[in-house]
Amino acid sequence: MSLGDYLRGRINIIFLNLVSLITLSIFLFSVGNTLDTILTVIITWIIVFIMFLIYEYRKRKLYFDDILRTVERLDKKYLISEIIDLPSFSDAVPYYTLMKKASKSMLEEINKIKTQRKDYNEYIEQWIHEVKTPISSIKLIEENNKTKTSRAVLEELENIDRFVEQALFYARSEEVEKDYLVKEISLEHCVNQVLIRNKRMFISNNIDIEIANININVYCDSKWLEFIINQIIVNSVKYRRSEFPIVKIYIKHINNGIQLIIEDNGIGIPDNEINRVFKKGFTGNKGRLNHKSTGIGLYLCKKLCVKLGLLITAESKENLYTKIVITFPKGNFCNLGAV
């Protein structure tokens, strides 16, 4: 609040004082006072009035500056009404009460929605756990009684399982911190688990795997990391080329960490789209045309990587290759960033 703003707000009082002052001066003059007396009265009046204005202005300025400073420092700004003081000038009190009431009702609304969301998330998790039992059932039935169609059914079942898994991790991605356990894990074991889970997809599409020197330990949560690697590998298969598709998995040591690189020789990502692949809902031209992309997979990867303190980047040349690089930080940085 600047002085100008304040004065503009007080314009009617200033005007009233001016009118009174003139009226008084005329009255004093007409009853026969000397010019000196009138001048003294006018100057005293003006000085007192200006002091009053300055006092009022300072009081307000201190109060509002304090509120503004507090709100800047506040993490959740909508909670300001909870910590604001009762204003010492009476014309602001109704606004104060109003704000208290409004934000109270808003907080109630927010809590209601939070509870609803929590309920919904819990329901989704519950549902996913329930649907996994019939999936296991179908899987076992088909594996126990192999017929000509079993392989196709099992392959589709792998897809269903993947979608269910994605939904589960999406539901959980808001609260990663609730369910993770960072410990030393074998990168090779993680990658193997993912490949085994997708074996039918690889074998039936005749895709080669080339794994090099990934026998190394990193600090991460194995379940989340497996999910991330799974999404990337499924993409490599989805956007493969028709002749001699291959997926290469290898690591590279860099200054402050280890990079896990998953490279395919697939259709690639055009230069103008590569910056957007981690955005939610982004599917790209190729995704839209051929492959029913959802634009969720890589978005989730990025989100989880951020929460786990990993760096994920993409690099590609159209029609040549796509490289997804996950960087695991090492040393002190790891302790600060990931845990």
Partner 1 sequence: MFNIMIVEDNQQLQNEIASLLVRNGYSALKTNEFNNIPKIVKESRPHLILLDINLPYDDGLKICTEIRSFSTVPIIFVTSKNTNVDELMSITLGGDDFITKPYNTQILLARINSLLKRVYPNEKSVDVIEYNSIKLNILSSKIEHNDQEIELTKNELKILHYLLINKGKIVSRVDIMEYLWDSSLFVNDNTLTVNITRIRNKFESIGVKDFIKTKRGQGYIV
Where do contacts with partner 1 occur on this chain (CB under 8 A)? 128-130, 132-137, 139-141, 143-144, 151, 157, 161, 179-181, 192, 195-197, 199-200, 202-204, 206-209, 211, 221, 223
Backbone torsion region of residue 27, taken as left when φ is above 0, otherwise alpha when ψ lies between -120 and 50, otherwise beta: alpha
Q: Are strands 321-329 and 311-317 parallel, antiparallel or unpaired?
A: antiparallel
Q: Which is nearer to partner 1, 28 or 153 (CB)?
A: 153
CB of 222 to partner 1, least distance (A): 9
CB of 327 to partner 1, least distance (A): 23
CB of 126 to partner 1, least distance (A): 10
Closest Cα partner for 244 from 195, 209, 213?
A: 209
CB of 107 to partner 1, least distance (A): 30
Closest Cα partner for 298 from 203, 183, 169, 206?
A: 169
CB of 299 to partner 1, least distance (A): 22
Judge whether 76 and 106 are in contact, CB under 8 Å: no
Q: Which is nearer to partner 1, 233 or 314 (CB)?
A: 233
Distance CA(165)–CA(198), nearest Å, equals 13
Q: Which is nearer to partner 1, 257 or 266 (CB)?
A: 266
Angle at 110 between CA 106 and CA 112, to 5 degrees: 115
Judge whether 37 and 24 are in contact, CB under 8 Å: no
Residue 310: count of CB within 10 angstroms of its CB: 24
Q: Which is nearer to partner 1, 189 or 276 (CB)?
A: 189
Q: Which is nearer to partner 1, 34 or 205 (CB)?
A: 205
Q: Which is nearer to partner 1, 12 or 149 (CB)?
A: 149
The structure tokens listed for 290 are: 């051929």
What is the torsional sign of CA 223, 229, 232, 233?
Answer: negative
Q: Which is nearer to partner 1, 69 or 146 (CB)?
A: 146
Q: Which is nearer to partner 1, 24 or 176 (CB)?
A: 176
Q: Which is nearer to partner 1, 60 or 200 (CB)?
A: 200
Determine the straight-line distance between the first and last CA of the chain, rounded to whole angstroms. Answer: 44
CB of 195 to partner 1, least distance (A): 6
CB of 129 to partner 1, least distance (A): 4
CB of 196 to partner 1, least distance (A): 6
Closest Cα partner for 241 from 273, 221, 267?
A: 267
Q: What is the per-residue DSSP string for 238-297?
A: HT--SSS-EEEEEEEEETTEEEEEEEE-SS---TTTGGGTTSTT--HHHHHHHS---S-H
302 Cβ contact partners less than 8 Å away, ≥ 6 residues apart = 278, 312
Judge whether 287 and 276 are in contact, CB under 8 Å: no
Distance CA(235)–CA(269), nearest Å, equals 12
